[in-house]
Structure 1
Amino acid sequence: SQTCLCRANAFVAEVYKEKEEFGPAIAHLQVALATLTDPGKDMAPALAAWIRSEADRVRELHAKAVKRNETVYFDRVPASVPPPDGFGKIKAAAASVGPLSKLAGKENPFAAVIPPHAADSAKTFRSTMAAQLEKRQREALVHRARVTETLGQ
């Protein structure tokens, strides 16, 4: 979640940079750098590499913004900035998935966290695919009966 908060602040900083408001952009990048944590040794290597690449990207953005502000814009960097909009809002609902929610014999607490729109889409997709499968199965049985009848003559 810290990486998501870091990315959100970096995105807000990019918006400020596009408006050529480098003071708030630098402040958001400083908050982004402060929220970064070093990935632990128990983290998957691919995820740890991604987190490190995000950290490198934010450090590079911060260095470029500071350099540009010190040479061109000379904006005042605020001491604090508001958090990015949208944090703290509910963005997902729990959905029961039955026996699929087990992972290596233990309950997986995140298996049932699915965004509501994705759960509805998945339910519709599953029912459509099940109907198509039943239809294809009936067609295959009819075809098999025809082939058996033709070969038997």
Structure 2
Amino acid sequence: MPFELNMLVFQKEMPYNDPEVREIENAAALGIATARGLANVVSTIWRRNLISDEVWTQLRDPVERGDDKVTGYGWHRGHGFFYHPHPTRKNAFLMLHGGHGMQNLVIDPYNKVVFALIRNGLLWDAKAFKETTAFAESIIKKCCS
């Protein structure tokens, strides 16, 4: 299926139940996952040492700070992630990877905690993002302080 205007991220809603949209072979956008499965991907990478400590050291720090055209916010970013200040460590960051519809993966590379939240919202929402990071921060503070 060719790219169509209804696939733009700036629209108010995304018709995921439209058969033409579901024909697109993109598991990341079709909701074919669970929060547990998504978090388990990163957890398995840690448990099996599929990424070296040296690479994790590089990934855990942002490369730049810049404005994002989709969200309209300035972010620390790099390596395919956005970065959010760590709730318990100074000069440290949580790694974030979000999907269209506010699906979020939050990675704490210091405590090896992974938080995944799957929502069925169909657009980027600042309030939902703040709820996600607040929830992840509260979990990290309780389990790792």
Rg bigger for which structure?
A: 1
TM beyond 0.5: no
Q: Which structure features the higher share of helix residues?
A: 1
- TM-score of the aligned structures, taking structure 2 as reference length: 0.22
Q: Normalising by structure 1, what TM-score?
A: 0.21
